Amino acid sequence: MTRQAHTTFSGGLGYLIDDRYLLHNPGARHPESPQRLLAIKEAIKIRRDAQRWRRIYPRKATHEELQLVHSPFLIERVEKASRRAPSYLDYDTAVSSESFETALLAAGGVLECIDGICSGDLRRVVAFVRPPGHHADHRSARGFCLFNNVALAAAYAIRKHGLERVAVVDIDVHHGNGTQSCFYNTPDVLYVSSHQSPLYPGTGDFSETGMDGGKGFTLNFPLPEATGDSTFVPLYTKIIAAVLDQYAPQIILVSAGFDGHVRDPLGGLDLTERAYRSAAASLMRAANRSCEGRICFVLEGGYSMQALKECTEAIMEQMELEYPEELQLREDSVFREISRRATTGFWKW
């Protein structure tokens, strides 16, 4: 890789985490547990270079902010469900009495990160929030998600900070159907997702590429079960990096789920933390080229405590490098097949 010797960057590293994110409790045997955040906290604690990081503290998102993406009906539904907790919003989306407030803090926390980045104070941020968000859409909370943190962040960057091109890249093992549907008709947000298929929620086919003015600004890369690093790594170094360069986003938001890790009990991909380390590097390098490095990773899934720890460490380590390190792996036949099938109109790789 050529070093981009002439680029100068301002703004530092930020991370967001808060003990109040432990208060959303979907039940003792639910995989989206508060323990996930404790595992991440442990990984943050052992970061060698902690003094380089600025901690970001969350606030609650306002109803007006939630309505950038969500209907008043959904907001009321989540609030009411929390009031009569324990209850369910769909068969796998349980809420406890603190869930509504926690979800407001998750969404508001990510908006704080956007403010930090758009004001120039921060350049690379990672937000360890829960509950996750990428399955929630305009009027539904589902798939462990209450409000769509990343979609809200994208809409907020456009509305509040006047951005015109926001890229959302979803590395979670599940397709972010909520995020996709929020921006399906608009070119203001490029949504790119790699995910296992078939798997919940069943969307994210190659053929889903956007509609009307948004045609071509949704890109899906469904991956077969047991896909490993030799597909995932070149997908990011070769294809997704090239797409991002052509779109030239003003910020990159990453739906950072680590449930494609080989240890994950829900996902069926065979990725290692090295693949996540490399994908994160590809995205940061794309941000360096397009938007002075502005990037925000937002936690989505990931249900193996060990994998969460390893991926947190890997991503934070990479964030500390001006030019994060991509792996160069020989592409396998699954990669070649995906590259051939992802015909999207105007993107070239």
The residues pairing with 246 across neighbouring beta strands, listed in sequence order, are: none
CA pair distance 194, 279, nearest whole angstrom: 11
Helices (H), 190-332: 229-234, 241-247, 273-291, 305-319
CA pair distance 257, 199, nearest whole angstrom: 15
**Residue 36 or 60: which CB sits closer to Zn ion?**
36
Q: How far is the CB of 91 from Zn ion (least distance, A)?
A: 16
Query: Is residue 32 a contact point for Zn ion (CB under 5 A)?
Result: no
CA pair distance 337, 333, nearest whole angstrom: 6
Token pair recorded at residue 81? 């469900």
Query: Is residue 259 a contact point for Zn ion (CB under 5 A)?
Result: yes
Catalytic residue among 70, 134, 135, 174: 135
Query: Is residue 264 a contact point for Zn ion (CB under 5 A)?
Result: no
Residue 46 near residue 34 (C-beta atoms within 8 A): no
Is the torsion defined by CA of 18, 19, 25, 31 positive or negative?
A: positive
Give me the residue label for tokens 């002075």.
292
CA pair distance 153, 158, nearest whole angstrom: 9
Question: What is the per-residue binding string for Zn ion in 49-88, x denoting contact by CB under 5 A?
Answer: ----------------------------------------
Query: Is residue 109 a contact point for Zn ion (CB under 5 A)?
Result: no
Please identify, among the stretches 64-72, 99-107, 221-229, 298-306, the one whose residues bind Zn ion according to the rule CB under 5 A: 298-306
Query: Is residue 134 a contact point for Zn ion (CB under 5 A)?
Result: no
Token pair recorded at residue 343? 């015909």
Q: How far is the CB of 188 from Zn ion (least distance, A)?
A: 25
Please identify, among the stretches 35-43, 259-267, 308-316, 326-334, the one whose residues bind Zn ion according to the rule CB under 5 A: 259-267
Question: What is the per-residue binding string for Zn ion in 173-192, x denoting contact by CB under 5 A?
Answer: -x------------------
Annotated active-site residue 135? The verdict is yes
Query: Is residue 301 a contact point for Zn ion (CB under 5 A)?
Result: yes
Q: How far is the CB of 346 from Zn ion (least distance, A)?
A: 29
Provide DSSP, 161-182: T--S-EEEEE-SSS--HHHHHH
Interacting residues with Zn ion (CB under 5 A): 172, 174, 257, 259, 301
- Active site residue ranges: 135
